[in-house]
Amino acid sequence: MLNINDLQKVLILDYGSQYTQLIARNIREMKVYCEIHPFNMKFEEIEKYNPKAIMLSGGPSSVYEEGAPSADKRIFDLNIPILGICYGMQLITHLFGGEVAPGTKKEYGQCSMEIISSSKLFEGLENNTIVLMSHGDSIAKLPEGYKVTAKSDNTPFCAIENEDKKVWAIQFHPEVVQTHNGDKIISNFVFNIANIRPDWNMDNFINMKIKEIQEIVGDKKVILGLSGGVDSSVAAVLINKAIGKNLKCIFVNNGVLRLNEADKVIKLFSEHYDIELIYADASEVFLSKLDGIEDPEKKRKIIGHTFVEVFDEEAKKIDGAEFLAQGTLYPDVIESVSFKGPSDVIKSHHNVGGLPEKMNLKLLEPFRELFKDEVREIGLKLGMPEDIIYRQPFPGPGLAVRIIGNITKERVELLQKADDIVVDEIKKAGLYRKLWQSFAVLLPIKTVGVMGDLRTYESVCAIRAVESQDAMTANWAHLPYEVLDKISKRIINEVKGINRVVYDVSSKPPATIEWE
């Protein structure tokens, strides 16, 4: 049985690109293990990680600006292939005596690239291909010993390499869908250049993780906060498989769950998996604390703090508990680390950043290295129902961040009913698994309507549906008009208190998927 130390791995050093996670996802889908680490990862740690190849990501910096992120040049003496992408290419050029200069024409968006010299990186590609550029600076002079292998109209050095030094570099982003055959370029680097074995698979992971959990936990008890979502549900089943009755799950009803969510979760895990489930109905406590709060970040913090208080109270009743299990995923870990110093917080993650010291529990995060699709694959291999495995993501603060403005019990009930109709009609149309998320949002405004010859003045409901692969970017979904029509009619007819339905046609970026 393999463990991660036995795997042939790729190391991705992150220079701040918004696309870095896409590189990792692409490589993982090739059944090769990789991790993202900050660009300033210590050389000794890199040696310990023992990568078979290194990739330097893109980033927003210029190599000449004060404090620009760099790299320990000793990585180029490890005798392993290195691929620089965008800023990574400029950094390689700068480190080895070439010149980087502000481009006379900046390139943002797709452009046509011509391959002008044979390269292992471009094997199997046509000589002309479409790539995504996103850069202001460009290479003005090559480092000694490097040759150019591709160019575009505005960029004479789209790709360069020094095969003897095992260094390749490209100015474009192969990890995004806007680059045609970008996955083939990454595959060429991983398999044809680095000769890495595709030995990362979820069967290995399950066996490895069960053994690891057993060794770490021993005969101690583990507490898990079960939400009914994919991550915590799969984590519960996996940990239960490892330690059985020593797993104690706590399900907290925070008052802003989906319609009948509590009943569904209790039935599934108590009856089908024989997992000990403690149900704490704290809905009134949460709703009283949220009363009058309109700021979304305050809502998140109130829900997070109250959850810990309720959870802690229940956890104290469990003798011998030493571990808290969480369904933390790799994107949560990456997004909660600032690789370049202080950065803006878009939204606080509810399951990353440690625990209050008073809980005195050690963290157990079995999926900390995984992406969502890998967790889903584990769930299927563990025989879990597809209804759970393919559930769309649901925010930790629940419907609280889908109720814009003040939260009351009445407004929660309105949104629960409207949201249930959205999900029901999306499923009936066979679209549920094609969408990343689809849900209703309750707006803080009322509009005039006419129902049965009577004037109404009621709430507005927005429908949000997006397509995405990883939630890093998302496009609004072009739902069929007949589906939108059914959703609208049902909500207006069946949910007393809503008389208008609108559809959100904004993508991420610039919008976020959730409204708050």
Closest to 57 measured CA to CA, from 74, 42, 43, 37: 37
Q: Does 86 participate in catalysis according to the annotation?
A: yes
Catalytic, out of 37, 94, 135, 173: 173
Q: Is the peptide bond before 342 cis (omega within 30 degrees of 0)?
A: no
3-class secondary structure, 276 = strand
Task: Please check whether residue 125 is in contact with residue 149, taking contact to mean a CB–CB distance below 8 angstroms.
Answer: no
Query: Distance between CA 420 and CA 408 in Å, rounded?
Result: 18
* CA angle in degrees (0–180, nearest 5) for 10-16-22: 50
Spell out where 116-268 has E strands.
128-141, 147-152, 159-162, 167-170, 221-225, 247-253
Query: Distance between CA 317 and CA 122 in Å, rounded?
Result: 61
CB-based contacts of 442: which residues, under 8 Å, 6+ apart? 402, 403, 404, 411, 414, 415, 418, 459, 460, 461, 462, 498
3-class secondary structure, 80 = coil
CB-based contacts of 483: which residues, under 8 Å, 6+ apart? 425, 426, 429, 431
DSSP state of 255: S
Paired tokens of 66: 């004060």
Angle in degrees, 0-180, between the axes of helices 202-217 and 230-243, rounded to the nearest 10? 60
Catalytic, out of 34, 35, 37, 86: 86
Neighbours of 470 (CB within 10 A): 15
3-class secondary structure, 450 = strand
3-class secondary structure, 346 = coil
Gyration radius (Cα) of the chain, Å:
25
Place of tokens 């024989």: 274
Lay out the sheet containing 9-14: strands in order across.
33-38, 9-14, 53-56, 82-85, 167-170, 159-162, 147-152, 99-115, 128-141
Query: Distance between CA 122 and CA 188 in Å, rounded?
Result: 7
Work out the burial of residue 480: count CB atoms within 10 Å of its CB; fewer than 13 is exposed, 13-18 middle, 19 or more buried: exposed
Neighbours of 137 (CB within 10 A): 22
Catalytic, out of 35, 107, 175, 514: 175
Q: Does 161 participate in catalysis according to the annotation?
A: no
Residues serving a catalytic function are 86, 173, 175
